[in-house]
Amino acid sequence: MSNPQQLRYSKEHEWLSVVEDGVATVGITEFAANALGDVVYAQLPEVGDTVTAGESCGELESTKSVSDLYSPVGGEVVEANQDVVDDPSLVNSAPFEGGWLFKVRVADEPEDLMSADEYAAFTAG
């Protein structure tokens, strides 16, 4: 599995795009999507919600289990991916493209986000 080099990764298996104009995109990794199985329901944070790095801000339900969604950064949600709400399978089929979850105006970015290579080593062991 190939993790895009330009993204940053959390230990909770979320990815974060590079911040542009203060806004970053958040999704779950291919590793997490595979572990979850077929995602059938997505509860995402709503526009205007404040999220805190490392804290639950929604959930993903699959045929195997329900998993909390954690924000890798703190800030205000500026967009939720309605396509994923309408078709949660996008999380499995395109976790780094159309399966992104929400966009956040970043207020704080933790120091412990990993590079693609660091995340690959983290998930390998």
Mean pLDDT confidence for 22-50: 96
What is the model's pLDDT at position 1?
60
Tokens of 69: 């969604």
Mean pLDDT (the chain) is 94
Write down the residue that tokens 């699959």 correspond to. Answer: 62
What is the model's pLDDT at position 19?
76
- Rounded CA-CA distance 1/63 in Å is 22
pLDDT tens profile 77-110? 999 999 999 999 999 999 999 999 999 999 987 8
What is the model's pLDDT at position 20?
77
What is the model's pLDDT at position 26?
97
Q: What is the pTM of this model?
A: 0.94
